Amino acid sequence: MVNVAICDDEIKTGAELERALIDIFDKLNIKCEIDIFFSGEELCDKMQAGVYYDLIFLDIEFAQDAINGVEVGRLIREVHKNLLVSIVYISWEKNYALQLFDTQPLHFLIKPLQHEKIEAVVKKHLTTAGLRSGYFAYKKGHDSFKVQIKDITYLESYDRKLVLHLADGNKDEFYGSLKEMYQQQLRGFEFLFIHNSYLVNFEHITALKYNEVFLANCLSPLPISKNRRGEVRERYFSIMQSRLG
């Protein structure tokens, strides 16, 4: 999943860019979620609230906004301390190169935007970011969030909801399927399905017993379902062996 923001006060440009991105990501067989903003302040407020984006297409000139796109880029990098998001500036003008340098943009596109150049930028982002494989993404309503996979202690499923338990003791709830989250994002990482309701991160296991797992910073152990005990032990020792070389 790639979370994209388009920030441009020209409605036509935003709509055309959104259609192009949907087509490009569909062709690449990669899921994407796109949010559109019409001012830099609106985008900054959303990010300040904790919403995470992988890729931002950011217009430089806003007719009614108090801050321009270059200043928004500086806020993202310097105030929000976000060095991971790829910023692509867009403008009718070509003479912004020096002003953009210190915000470390991924690219600069000249309007009117061309489909092949948008596609090249998307592919450049995917190559540079490595699809952010170290992050777990989830949605709450229309908002998208990300956490580092290494910080996940376990995922819990109940009543069509998932509870994300983090190593620092924080947790968050959102709607989703445990099996789908595993298949889509966590299959390539060291997670163990100990129960239909629990998916645990090997990194945080402190002890594995016959019918339960103990996790760091968790007061109570989690149960291993009867029909998964053999599979869990096999998976656990396979990971141990691979780490020992």
* CATH 2.40.50.1020 boundaries in the chain: 149-244
Residue 174 and residue 155: Cα distance in Å, rounded? 11
17, pLDDT greater than 70:
yes
Residue 215 and residue 217: Cα distance in Å, rounded? 6
Residue 210: beta bridge partners?
none
What's the pLDDT tens digit per position in 174-183? 999 999 999 8
CATH number given to 2-132: 3.40.50.2300
What's the pLDDT tens digit per position in 97-109? 556 666 778 888 9
Residue 120 and residue 149: Cα distance in Å, rounded? 28
Query: SS3 of 129, please?
Result: helix
* CA 196 to the chain's CA centroid: 25
Q: pTM (2 decimals)?
A: 0.58
Phi-psi region of 42 (alpha: psi -120 to 50; beta: other; left: phi over 0): alpha
* CATH 3.40.50.2300 boundaries in the chain: 2-132
Residue 193 and residue 155: Cα distance in Å, rounded? 10
Strand (E) positions, the chain? Answer: 2-7, 32-37, 55-59, 86-91, 107-110, 135-140, 143-148, 152-158, 161-166, 171-175, 191-195, 198-201, 205-208, 212-215, 222-223
pLDDT band at 200 (very low <50, low <70, confident <90, very high): very high
What's the pLDDT tens digit per position in 111-162? 999 999 999 999 888 877 654 457 888 989 889 898 988 889 999 999 889 9
Residue 174 and residue 142: Cα distance in Å, rounded? 12
- Does the domain at 149-244 match CATH 2.40.50.1020? Answer given as yes
Residue 168 and residue 84: Cα distance in Å, rounded? 22
